[in-house]
A and B are shown apart, each in its own frame.
Chain A
Amino acid sequence: MSASFLIKRLFLMVLTAFVVSIIVFGVTQLLPADAAVMILGENATPEAMAALSSRLGLDRPAPIQYFDWLVGVLHGDFGISLRTGQAVGPTIFEALGRSALLAALSLFTVSIVAIPLGVWAAARRGKAADLGVSVLSYMGISLPEFVLATLLLAWLAGPSVGLFPASGYTSPLENPLDALHHLALPVITLSIVLLAHISRMVRSEMVDTLDSDFIRAARLRGLPRRQVLFRHALRNSMLPAITVIALDIGYLIGGVIVVEEIFSFPGVGRQLILAIQNRDLPMLQAGVLIMSMTYALANLAADLAYAALDKRIQFS
């Protein structure tokens, strides 16, 4: 990986962050009810509203408000929540930690299932096993998270089975076992949804790799089938897979929002939905910005990993 690639990619990241911040701020500025109405209610006198607007700085031109907000964000100050009256920063970062735990556990679970499944399907291309995996993955990508989550909830958390709690969260530092118990259903939901994407992608990369000459050569040399599959083919298929898994983080973030809402899991997604329902502007801006930046960082990490692993790629 050359220094110029690194610099170019980092510059792109900063540019992306800048444009995203403008979009987030710009779109939320269009909100039909402004913050003053939100705080004082619809029936406030115009004088009271004007006074509050000027106190909050809402009567200044939009670019100046944006600049103020951006400077605050860069210092970790996301403003005061209109719903709770508390600072947004600590709330959202605490929630981010919980969401990250949920997302990381899901990615881990899905990786140990989806990759072998994709390899298996590719190795038996055109046979019943391959067809089975294909059908399952079509069903997986066609079932929205909220349907799956609700069905799992009704089934596994219902009074008759009662395997898992229906909602809530325990800190893993306080009680690791209970924490896992609460995380199980959200993690299972997210893993099944991602399983479809990732196993399908691993399969298609493996199919391409298995057709290549070096695999045929390895087979002709009489190497064991398992060794050819996992040592030679999988290694070469994982490189493109990294990019796709990074893109899947985008889906994962959408899934996290929905799943947190359904299982009342106190993460960023739930904060975001609460913020939308209550027109809590600073919380909404912080939530969208932080989730987008997480996604952008994941893509950056994937690009850098790709470049570091594949010596042929510099930058084009």
Chain B
Amino acid sequence: MSFLKTLIRHPQGAVGLFLTALVLTMAAIGPSIAPLDPETMHFANRFEPPSAEFLLGTDWFGRDLLSRMMVGAQSTVLLALLATIIATTIGALIGIISGYLGGWLDEGIMRIVDAIMAIPGLLFALLIISALGTSALNAVIAIGIAFAPGMARISRSVTLQIRALDYVSAARSRGENSLWIVLAEILPNVAAPIIVEATIRVAFAIMTLATLSFLGLGAQPPSPEWGLMISQGREHMFRSPWPIIVPGGAIALVAIGFNLLGDGLRDVLNPKSEH
């Protein structure tokens, strides 16, 4: 609890926490609290700017943009979270094992990780999607794999710091086996920095997922995924910018939220490092 209090006193942390809480709530219960039905077409009210009836305006079919955005939160934010969890799990596993074991194995793994990171993230995700085929779930897997090397590198560098500490040497000289040392001594201590990094990665995952959907390689119609909404709104962009502004603003707001929360968490969990 004292941790939450410190986070709230931190300006970036507080705003980030508020924004992410808002978005996660929307993703969880958005469909049931949306003011209007997201699929109902109000043909008399096409391309409306924000008004009392349609708070954020309507699209080319006269569908309520606020309601569509709230429903779309699920397919955008939850899937991005899933992608980040996949990346963090794979990356942390590789990074911790590599860093703990050290030696030529570590050297070899890290050379491969470096080489994979020589492929820019979006490009690698595109490569994987081309192999898996286009669907929302494949986009999630692609992002999970593409982000894993970065997480591995960070987990390894944290593991190296922890491994050099006395209590790990103590556990070793007590004759504990490696698996036990990794699980009981190393994992709890590398968790915090990894969580900070993962939080910031969620922002990238949301942006990448929306980008893939926008390119037609992620979520498919009629999903109200935000990137896809923008892609469809392009056809009518000279008639009304609102079908682009609303989901675009939502993406930016969520990404800002996770970025701020990540920065806040970093400062609170590790007061020594100033960024």
Contacts and interface: CB of A to CB of B under 8 A. Distances in A.
Contact of A27 (B114, B121, B128, B244): B128
Given A155-B241, A204-B275, A276 B126 contact: yes
A291 B123 contact: yes
A258 B120 contact: no
Interface stretch (A35-43, A52-60, A70-78, A146-154): A146-154
Interface stretch (A86-94, A247-255, A308-316): A247-255
A150 B230 contact: yes
A30 B131 CA distance: 6
B259 interface: yes
Given A253-B123, A288-B119, A292-B123, A138 B260 contact: yes
Interface stretch (B25-33, B177-185, B203-211): B203-211
A292 B120 contact: yes
Interface string A269-282: 00011011101000
A16 B114 contact: yes
A20 interface: yes
A250 B146 CA distance: 13
Given A20-B119, A295-B120, A276 B129 contact: yes
B75 to A, nearest CB: 16
Given A151-B241, A158-B238, A299-B118, A254 B123 contact: yes
Contacts of B203: 141-142
B127 A28 contact: yes
A153 B217 CA distance: 22
A51 interface: no
Chain A: interface residue count, which band?
A: 35 or more
A139 B241 contact: no
B214 interface: yes
B193 interface: no
A272 B123 CA distance: 9
A19 B116 CA distance: 8
B252 interface: yes
B216 interface: yes
B192 to A, nearest CB: 22
Given A139-B252, A144-B211, A276 B130 contact: yes
B217 to A, nearest CB: 7
Contacts of A275: 130
Interface string B83-127: 000000000000000000000000000011011101111110011
Interface in A18-69: 18-20, 23-24, 27-28, 30-32
Instruction: Give the one of B126, B244, B251, B255 with max A CB within 10 A.
Output: B126
A150 to B, nearest CB: 5
A18 B253 CA distance: 40
B118 A151 contact: no
A291 B126 CA distance: 12
A261 interface: yes
Contacts of A12: 114
B72 interface: no
7 contacts: A138-B256, A147-B248, A158-B238, A254-B120, A254-B122, A288-B123, A292-B118
Interface of B: 111-112, 114-116, 118-123, 126-133, 203, 207, 210-211, 214-217, 227, 230, 233-234, 237-238, 241, 244-245, 248, 251-253, 255-256, 259-260, 275
Interface of A: 12, 15-16, 18-20, 23-24, 27-28, 30-32, 138-139, 141-147, 150-151, 153-155, 158-159, 204, 250-251, 253-254, 257-258, 261, 272-273, 275-277, 279, 284, 288, 291-292, 295-296, 299
Shortest 4 CB-CB distances between A and B: which pairs? A19-B115, A254-B122, A142-B255, A147-B248
